[in-house]
Structure 1
Amino acid sequence: MPYLILCGIGLIIGLTSIGPSASEGLGTLNTLAFWAAHVAPALALLALTQMVLGRIERFSALPSIVQVVVSAILASLLFAPIALGIDEVLGGEGALDDQGDALVLRLGAELAHFFLPLVLIWSLINAPSLLQLERGARRVARPQDAPADPDPQRADAAEFWSRIPGRLGRQLVALSAELHYIRVFTTQGDTLILFPFGRAVDLLQSQNGMQVHRSHWVALDQIDEVVSGDGRVICRMISGVELPVSRSYRAALKAARRSTV
């Protein structure tokens, strides 16, 4: 999430500096607000679209770059009416040129303006993760002739573990959702994999662990201590990883730790 926020800030500053025609005639502060109103919902919609699609088994089986591009295409279609509304409320002279046209034509023109840039930007934002995934995939040996497992749950588990490099072992410490990816922490290190977080949590129900936040799962036997302060609760793992504990999970975590002592 911090990475996405930084990307958003960079895009807002860049668009404000370049000053495309849609913000023509606006002052500096109004231009900044105009592009912030576009960038924030666009990035949120892109991330949400890919996370939702990632829960679909057939979609999550597609190559990573295909998932990114398809998500960007769908998000662009969904964002078109939002962008049109923002243009009408905050837009400069260039954004009001086609106000007399039919709504369908205006939506089409709006989509044409940002469709390719949005797909390209989302692909570039995901590029570091895609490159890391590609490097990890090259290190993981996968049997090519293994028969398909008739048990979907067991097949999902096999797919999850196959994406984690063997050098990291199988002793999980924690999982952290990063957009539509998962940062997998083991006692030997960490790696980034493309796998739905909710699906991974479901697969690990038999493990000695639990979800402590909408974006984090921890192995109970790898917790060093749970620290409270300033209204926050932090789960500090033996490996040094620190993860926040949501208010709604605190009582369950306390009970789970008590039962494992």
Structure 2
Amino acid sequence: MIHLFLQSTLRELQVFLHSRRFWGTFAAIVLLFAVTGPYGTMESMAFGERLAYWLTLHALAWTIAILCAVTAERLLRGMIVSMFARMMAGSLIAALPIGFAIGLVDHVFAGEATTLESGLQRALFAVPLCALFCLLTYMAMSQKIAEAAAPQETSPAASILDRLKPENRGSLLRLSVQDHYTEVVTSRGRELVLLRFADALRETAATPGLRVHRSHWVADAHVESLKRDNGRLLILTRDGTEIPVSRSYAEDVRRRFT
């Protein structure tokens, strides 16, 4: 289990290492800070020293933020559904070690001593920057991170039921997209699986059913009837759930269930 966790975490970290957009953003921010010299560095340092200072500081801070965000994204999956919320939790936690890391950089470049109080003050200052870092990272790279975390291969003969906890393995009823997850509903419960919807559909081969929407699949045996609501076509399932039908799938749905 630990080996699989480390493997998946490493794949997510590699997303950052191989992203040109990530490195381009990093370089642009370091150069911006070196040129503008904020927080008194313009007056106290020459350009070369400023560049080295901000490069070191940002490299250390970004490394800590990425490690915390990716680790939290992995560890909190069973408690928090939203990937953004998981990454934000990790990023905000990163503010504490980043505060003391900044103190270390200041000590190396300016000889300033770091105390517990100054480290906590720097950590408080880093909180909004960590939140901004998380927001920008999620907007730019969330899909790539989700793909890196998902299983690398899907066997055509595999069943999505094998991915569920034993207590949830019953008759497959329907699938729905939930953020970067697929929600699997069976006769014994429901569970979120970190799997692309297209891959999940390939694992339903043993159960007759139909994709009725870009975000929904339903088993034939689970369909009770069709209905219309303000011109929209809906599937009414045996447990009373109403599933929307996309126009592109409407003809197939009528042909199959009427």
When the two structures are superposed, what TM-score results if normalisation uses the length of structure 1?
0.49
**Greater gyration radius:** 2
